[in-house]
Amino acid sequence: MTLMARGGDRLRLPILERFDVAADTPVCASFEALDAGYPGSKFILTTRDRQSWLESCHGFWAERLEPYLLENPRSPNAAYIRAICDKLYGGSGFDPERFLRAYDEYHARVRRHFRDRSTDLLALDICAGEGWGPLCEFLGLPRPRAEFPWSNRMGSSLVGDVATG
């Protein structure tokens, strides 16, 4: 958690000695330090429509994250979750306006970090149908025969129009 507060350090993770990929919020909260710790690595910025992303966040916070934090306020996992949420969203409670600002600021920060290294960053919009083609080309790998995996799809709107502005 200290690394997230300081930022800019070189980060090496023992788990990456066994695996080739790290994903999701831990990477988002420390991508600069991971980039410094693993020179030559490739990074993928998954993008999507802001409103769709916000609705997904709202559902996750309401159904899973906030109940977990309320039920386990003193657990090490809760402290870890709060630290990541503070770094990425400016707090662990869901606030549509704050989250939209965080979305825009994060995407701008990633693009700024990689602005002179376009071969190290792929922006991929899976929700818009991008998948194996751009991903495999970016990684220099053959395209699998299987359909591109996509789970956790949402079907209903959870956040009202106040979040669109």
pLDDT-derived band of residue 153, with 50, 70 and 90 as boundaries?
low
Q: Output 71 or 5, whichever has higher pLDDT.
A: 71
Q: What's the CA angle centered on 102, arms 118 and 58, to 5 degrees?
A: 120
Q: Which amino acid is at 75?
A: S
pLDDT value of position 144: 95
Cα distances from 123 to residues 7, 44, 108, in angstroms, run 23, 6, 12
- Total domain count, the chain: 1
- The yes-or-no verdict on residue 160 having pLDDT over 50 is no
| Sequence-distant contacts of 160-164: CB under 8 A, at least 24 apart | 162/96, 163/51, 163/54, 163/96, 163/97, 163/100, 164/51
Domain containing residue 86: CATH number: 3.40.50.300
Lowest-confidence region among 26-35, 71-80, 156-165: 156-165
Q: Output 17 or 163, whichever has higher pLDDT.
A: 17
d(CA 128, CA 98) in angstroms, rounded, equals: 24
Q: Look up the domain containing 106 and give its range.
A: 2-164
Q: What is the pLDDT of residues 91-141, one digit of tens each?
A: 999 999 999 999 999 999 999 999 999 999 999 999 999 999 999 999 999
Instruction: Work out the average pLDDT over 23-50.
Output: 93
Q: Give the residue among 7, 51, 49 at the shortest CA–CA distance from 31.
A: 7
Q: What is the pLDDT of residues 44-99, one digit of tens each?
A: 999 999 999 999 999 999 999 999 999 999 999 999 999 999 999 999 999 999 99
pLDDT-derived band of residue 24, with 50, 70 and 90 as boundaries?
confident
